[in-house]
Structures are given as structure tokens and as C-alpha cells.
Structure 1
Amino acid sequence: MDYKPKKNILRLRPDTIDYVYRSINLSKPGEMEYAIRMLRDWTEKQPHFKRNDFSDNFLRSSIIVAKGSIENAKQKIDKLCTLRSLLPENFRCFNAKEDFAHVFEVMKPIVLPQVTEDHCRLMTVKVYGTIESCHISDALKYSIVLGDYMRQCDFIREYICIFDLSDVNIMDVITKLNLMDLRHAFAVYFEGHGLRFKSMYFITTSKLVDTLINLLKQVLKPKLIDRIKVVKSWDEVHNIIDKDILPVDFGGYERSEQELHDDWLEETCNEEFQKYLRDINSTGTDESSRPSYKFNEEYAGMPGTFKQLTVD
């Protein structure tokens, strides 16, 4: 399983790779290659994996999100494979142009091309107009497609997310949120993909944002809630994020939100990535080959278990 980007949709700073490798203590020549070989040797010996032909890029990113720990990388791969079997509705081979067209009428989730000076990747979501439950549910599924792309094609460990809610009734958002959908998506983000939010910004002047944050407290741990910040406008964001990174629609100098969104659709809907998505989604697990006590301990709160999952 492998995929090489067709478009230069994600860029790095000249020192990004060196910075990331140093931050996980794998900067010496040959260290990352050796770690990848160790991880591949382990995956090939796992009888409960339905497939184990992971690409070097996937294994490398697994090591990066695990902060250089091979043991933690093993856990991330195991959890992601297991979640593909537990939550198959979130891991179909979606064609975003067709399956999520209704979502893009009210929001356009995009991962921005450039990274910050401290090598963080940004994701922006601006919500336009009336939002329904299906929009949120399917936007979460689209974000999982983006997550699979990033896991294969990027080097970044940390993300900053900006949600522009200035043109939406926040009570509308609150009443349309499905906590189970959120819990499952967050399990994929944090437990499977090892996503690390450096910060998350809500742009709004509504006092109801406190109610929204209180709702999120039911599915996120306190340390993640503490990283949520509320700002009133993009002008406040400009004091935090370099304008060169942000789309022109949001007061920056990058290409427009629509142009970046179109690039993502072209990239994730091309035939080669669709094949990769089918392949990577087939990497589930056969739980009959692993002790059930271990399964219940690691995946409590998912379908078929009885405890509630708390996402870190």
C-alpha cells in the first residue's frame, strides 16, 4: 500500500523534517530508517492484522506521532486497524465530490498548505448558514479521509484548528451535534492517528460558545479542553498566526478557501488515492486471533463493549 501525492498540496519549511526528527530524538543518520525496519518487522508478525503491507511513509508517520517511541507506534497502528473494523461506517472509500457535496454547501474543511514557524499544520472550517446533523456527521467522515491522507503524506506532529462560527447560530450547532459521532471521530483522531492539537480556536461573539465547550467536555479530556480558545474575529487570529499561511478570504495572503478546497477534492478523489483508501481501509483486525481481555481493555466504549471510552 502506497500513495505519492499528485499535487504539491502540503508544503514544509526547509528545516521541518530536521526539526521533527530532532524533536523525537531520531535525527542521527539512519535512525529513522532503522526504526521503520523495526516497526515493519513487528507488523509482519501480527496474526490479527488483516493486512500488514504498510508503506514506509505510513510507518514513518506512525513513529512521528508516537514521538519516536516504537512501542507507542505499535499501539497507534493496532488501534487504528482495530477502529477500522469496529467503525466501518467511518472508513468507507468515500468519494468526497459525490458523498460530501451537501457538506461543502455549508462548510469547507481544509488543511492549509504552509506550516507555522514552529512547524504546526493548520486546519480551518468556516460554517455558512444553516447546519444539519448530517452535515456534521459527514464532515467528520471527510476529516477522517483527510487524516488518512496526512498519515501517508505528511511529516507534521502538531495541528492548530480554527473553526469560524461567526455566521452561524451556535445553538443550531449544539442541537445538531451527535455525541456518539464525536466520540467515535475523536477516537480515530487521537487514539488511531495520534493527532495532537496544539490549540483550537472558535471565532464567535456568541456567549453560547461556553455551552458548546461544556458539551465537548463530555468527549474530551481537560487538557484538550484547556487548549480551546475563543476569539471574536480573524483580526485576533492574525495576532497569533502569520497572514502568509491564511487564505485571502480570512485576511491572509494564501490562495482562497475555494481554491484550496478544490485542490483537496482533486487530490482525494483521484483514482490512485481512491485505490490507496480502499487498501488502507482493508487493514482491519481479526479479533479471534487476539486475547479478548486485551481487546476489551484497549477498546472499551466502542461497539460491542460495555465501558465508556474517554478520548485523550
Structure 2
Amino acid sequence: MEGFFVSEKEKSIINALHNISEEAIESKIKSLKKWIEQCPHLPLESKDEEFLKIMLLRGKFQEETVTKMIQNYFTHLCKYPEFFVGLKNIKPSDEVGWTVILPNLTPSWEKIGILKLNPAKVEKVLDVHRCFTVGIAAALIMYNYDYAPKIRLILDFEGFTMNHILQVNINDLFKLISIYENILKIRISGIELINAPHLLGVILNLAKVVLKPKLFSRITVHGDLCSLHKNIPRKNLPNDYGGELQNSEELLNLWDQVFLKKKCFLEKIEQLCQRHSQDQWIFGTQGSFKSLVVD
């Protein structure tokens, strides 16, 4: 399942695009490790080199930015523990709300993520809170293991009704945004809306309330797949979206295997959140949390 993540060759190209050498990255990692040693509230796992390399990428290789991101990741991770319940038991293809990250990078070095309703379960009651948890789990895996610089999201509203929208708790939505802004700072290069003409006004009004203007400006509404292909090459899309990859259901079954492989990681995140919620545990004061960042 490693094919779902950026290859070593692609990592080198991404680093070159940022005009940074391997030697410079190693130097920054050493500097970050020294800083971490002066932060007793951070766990030993924060020194993991693969984690630090990804954090450098997320922070555009600016050390001051990266230190803030590491602080936020480990201190805000458990602020809303209710969103991290059941992470280890998620099988994406069984969910009413699907979230799948596609395996290959676009020419603009983006990963593509698709969020949609499961066609086989579209009539079932939609647990929006559960959908948020599934999306967070996917983001956690990408954030910790995938060297992709950014992601472009497809929000497919096929089968979505006003009843589904009415189930969205605005407070939960703001919490979700907070999690992404303070913990999972993955750059979103675009949000592509499809199959939502009759709900378009409601969706855009809701997005305008919860999203920052910069991100809201990156929303594109598509009337058909030809329009979508102007923003995302067909070779990066499933064939049921007019693309050249396997269909989205087959890709989702492969994504199940990624979740299965990362089950221990997700279980540790869930345990951490529960322990923090119950005991007000602070990193570094009551022992280490073994292998939090990597398997």
C-alpha cells in the first residue's frame, strides 16, 4: 500500500521545487531536535526524523513556522477528543460518508481527495459527526505519512439533500475547522463542488461562514465533468469521474488496506485523546507515549 504515498524520487523533486537540499534539511532537523530537547512537554516521538521532514514540508521549511506547528500538533491534538473516538475501527468503504485519498500526484504536486455519500447507503441516516471523524482519520494518515505538499478536494453532493445539511451542527463544523487549522495544516489548493445545483446557495452560504476568505476563494462549482477536468487532469481521476484510474469504489477498497495497515497508529491517537480527556495528561510529565508518530 506504499504506492498510495509519495515515492522517494518524488520527495527529491518536491524538495528541489522548494529550492532546498538534503543537506539543508538534515541541518534543520538537527536544529529542531535541539529545540525539542528544550521542550519537556513534547514527547520523544516528536524527534522522529520522518515526522520532522514532513513537518518541514508542511511549514515550507521555515523553522519558526515548523516549531509552532509541532507545538500545536501535540498540544491541541486532544482538544476535541470526541472527534477521535473509534479511529481504529474505521473501514472507509463501510461508511455512509466516504472519504478517499487518491494514490498519485497531479502535475501541480497535489493529492486528490474525494468526499461523497456511499451510493449503497445513501438512504441511511447520515451521522455527520461520524463523517467528520472519518475525514480526520484520513487527514491524520496523510499528514503523518504522505509527503504530498498539498491536497485538492472534490466534494461530490450526489444524493445529498437538505435533510443532510440540516444534520450539520454548526459548532461541530467550527471545531472541525479548528482541528484542521491548528493540528492538520495540510494546504488545500482547491475545493471542487460537483452535483450540487439545487443546494448550491445553501452550501456556499455555509462555507462562507466557516471558511477563511482565502480558502473560500478557492471553491469552484462544476456543472459537469468537463468543467472538473479543467482543474484536475483525467489521469488523476477515477473512471467514474471521466478519468483514467480505477473507479472510486475500487480505489476505496484499496484505501481500506491503508487504514488497516495504519490501524495501530490510529489506535494510539485514539488512546492518547481518551487519556488526555480523562486524566488531563500533559506530554512529558507522566511518561512517554510509545510510537505515536510512526509505526
Q: TM-score range by the shorter chain?
A: 0.7 to 0.9
Q: Which residue pairs with 2:109 in the alignment?
A: 119
> Conserved in 2, the CA contact under 8 Å of 1:112 and 1:122?
yes
CA distance in 1, matches of 2:7, 2:242: 22
1:210/1:131 Cα in 2 relative to 1: closer, same or farther (>3 Å)?
farther
Q: Deviation per CA, 1:170-219, whole angstroms, max 9, x where unpaired?
A: x2332121222222222222321211111101102524312211112222
Alignment partner for residue 140 of structure 2, among 148, 152, 164?
Answer: 148
Report the counterpart of residue 152 of structure 2 in structure 1. Answer: 160
Q: Is the aligned partner of 1:17 residue 2:11?
A: yes
Looking at structure 1, the residues matched to 232 and 242 of structure 2 have their Cα atoms a distance apart, in angstroms, of: 11
Q: Report the secondary structure of 1:143's partner residue.
A: helix
Gaps of 5+ in 1: 1-5, 290-312
Which of 227, 243, 254 lines up with 1:236 in the alignment? 227
> What is the match of residue 61 of structure 1?
54
Deviation at 1:262, TM superposition (A): 1.4
What amino acid maps onto 1:18 in structure 2?
S
Tell me: CA distance 1:68–1:22, structure 2 relative to 1, closer, same or farther (3 Å): same
RMSD over aligned CA atoms reads: 2.6
- Paired letter, 1:145: A
What is the aligned counterpart of 1:198 among 184, 189, 203?
189
TM-score by length of 1: 0.78
Query: Secondary structure of the equivalent of 1:177?
Result: coil
TM-score of the pair, normalised by structure 2 = 0.83
Q: 1:218 aligns with which of 188, 195, 209?
A: 209
Indicate conservation of the 8 Å contact 1:133/1:177, yes or no.
Answer: no
Partner of 2:290: none
Query: Which shows bigger deviation, 116-125 or 106-115?
Result: 106-115
C-alpha distance in 1 between matches for 2:59 and 2:147: 12
Instruction: Pick closer, same or farther for the CA change 1:76–1:29 going to 2, 3 Å.
Output: closer
Asked if residue 276 in structure 1 is aligned to residue 271 in structure 2, the reply is no
> Are residue 31 (structure 1) and residue 24 (structure 2) matched?
yes
3-state secondary structure, aligned to 2:179: helix
User: By how many angstroms is 1:151 displaced?
Assistant: 2.0
| Counterparts of residues 30-109 of structure 1 (less than 5 Å) | 30-49=23-42, 51-54=43-46, 55-92=48-85, 94-97=87-90, 104=95, 106-109=96-99
Give the length in aligned residue pairs: 274
Match of 2:3 in 1: 8
Task: Report sequence identity in percent.
Answer: 22
Change (3 A) 1:241 1:262: same
Partner SS state of residue 245, structure 2: coil
Which string of whole-angstrom CA distances, capped at 9 and with x for unpartnered residues, describes residues 228-259 of structure 1? 11111223212321111111222211122122
Q: Secondary structure at the match of 1:108?
A: strand
* Higher helix proportion (structure 1 or 2): 2
| 3-state DSSP of counterpart to 1:53 | helix
Aligned partner of 1:81: which letter?
Answer: F
